[in-house]
Amino acid sequence: MAEAKKKDDEDIKMHDPGVDAAEDEPLVEGETDVAEDLGDIIEQLTNERDEMRDRFMRALADAENARKRGDRDRREAEQYGGAKLSRDLLPVFDNLKRALETATDEQREVSGALIEGVELTMKELISVFRKHGIEPVTPEVGEKFDPQLHQAMFEAPVPGTRAGEIIQVMADGFVLHDRLLRPAQVGVSSMPAQT
């Protein structure tokens, strides 16, 4: 009977991993495999975490860039959104200015109220332009030609001037905030340098 009990205990040890597990060789090899598997799993999870963190940071940066771009586009739309309409109104300004410049003293006496109405309309148009950030560029004869603000319509050698000086102004230019809507149209001296 003692032998049967001893045989049963040995059978239990072979089939029950909890009994004297330290003595069982295959179980020790299994533990090593489990430790390696856990190390692989931890390494894989760490890599996934790092990849997700990188994706998250990139998505966050993209969202911030999109917000900044949207803010910049909104500001530009507020400031420069009316540029096309403004350009379309510039010929109206030119026509009113020409009408006032061509009116003679005789015409002013006969049609004073009409000329005054045109002058008031011109002042109102300039006031509306300024309200929306549109400023005239009005060069004077004798100023230096600036290609950033002026457009040379012709060149002519005019005695008493230097090359690059404005000799005639045909049309005023305009800027919208800090952008050029239309350059001032001018004639420029091409007098050769005196030696």
pLDDT at 14: 53
Check pLDDT > 80 for residue 1: no
- What is the Cα–Cα distance from 50 to 56, expressed in whole angstroms? 10
Mean pLDDT of 45-53: 95
CA–CA dist 185, 110 (Å, integer): 33
- Looking at residues 162-172, what average pLDDT do you find? 92
Confidence of residue 190 (pLDDT cuts 50, 70, 90): confident
- pLDDT for 24 equals 47
Using alpha carbons, select from 190, 191, 194, 172 the residue that is nearest to residue 182: 172
Residue 136 bridge partners (DSSP):
174
Contact status, residue 131 vs residue 165, Cβ threshold 8 Å: no
Q: What number is the average pLDDT over the span 27-34?
A: 60
- Would you say domain 81-189 falls under CATH 2.30.22.10? yes
Does position 74 have pLDDT exceeding 50, yes or no?
A: yes
Residue 127 has pLDDT above 90, yes or no: yes
Q: What is the distance between the alpha carbons of residues 157 and 93, in angstroms, rounded to a whole number?
A: 30
Confidence of residue 79 (pLDDT cuts 50, 70, 90): confident
**Cα(68)–Cα(189) distance, integer angstroms:** 47
pLDDT over threshold 60, residue 125: yes
Question: At residue 2, does pLDDT exceed 80?
Answer: no
Check residue 187 and report its DSSP letter: E
Measured distance CA(49)–CA(112) in Å, rounded = 83
- Looking at the chain, the whole-number percentage of residues with pLDDT higher than 70 is 82
Tell me the three state secondary structure of residue 175.
strand
Counting residues of the chain whose pLDDT is more than 90, the rounded percentage is 56
